[in-house]
């Protein structure tokens, strides 16, 4: 089980994050796999800027996509595909909730871990 280690914020519409190819044109209405690729790329850029140990397991990442939509994700492991959207945290650009959780719904899809997010 992984406990929340802290929270960071990433604005995908601002440099250097706007240069992350997998995050360009992505928002909360995209499917989970596309958002997970964007989140992984964005956290990779964060690590490149702030150091490889700057995002430990359990870190909650609050992402604002370039289109203004928002969601939270959690770093669930230290390999690839380890930043997974937290169901129910997706927001429209005006701050409203997204019906259906932006495709997440239900449990965090992380076959190798158990994540507790408070």
- Count how many domains the chain has: 1
Residue 99 inside a domain? The answer is yes
- pLDDT of amino acid 1: 56
10 DSSP β-pair partners: 63
What residue has token string 């169901």?
A: 87
Write the pLDDT tens digit of every residue in 40-88.
Answer: 999 999 999 999 889 988 999 999 999 999 999 999 887 655 777 888 8
Residue 118 inside a domain? The answer is no
Residue 82 inside a domain? The answer is yes
- pLDDT of amino acid 63: 97
Residue 113 inside a domain? The answer is no
Which of 13-27, 33-47, 92-106 shows the lowest mean pLDDT across its residues?
Answer: 92-106
Q: In angstroms, rounded to a whole number, what is the distance separating the alpha carbons of residues 10 and 64? A: 6
Residue 112 inside a domain? The answer is no
Residue 30 clears pLDDT 90, i.e. is over it = yes
Write the pLDDT tens digit of every residue in 95-110.
Answer: 888 875 444 444 444 4
Pairing of strands 83-85, 59-64: unpaired
Contact call for residues 71 and 102 (beta carbons, < 8 A): yes
User: In terms of residue numbers, what domain contains 59?
Assistant: 6-103
């Amino acid at each position: 089980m992984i406990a929340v280690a802290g929270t960071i914020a990433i604005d995908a519409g601002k440099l250097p994050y706007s240069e992350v190819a997998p995050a360009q044109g992505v928002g909360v209405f995209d499917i989970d796999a596309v958002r997970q690729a964007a989140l992984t790329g964005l956290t990779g850029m964060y690590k490149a800027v702030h150091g490889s140990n700057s995002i430990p397991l359990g870190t909650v990442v609050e992402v604002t996509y370039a289109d203004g939509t928002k969601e939270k994700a959690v770093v669930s492991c230290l390999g690839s595909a380890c930043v997974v959207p937290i169901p129910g945290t997706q927001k429209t650009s005006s701050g409203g909730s997204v019906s259906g959780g932006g495709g997440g719904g239900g449990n965090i899809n992380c076959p190798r871990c158990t994540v507790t997010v408070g």
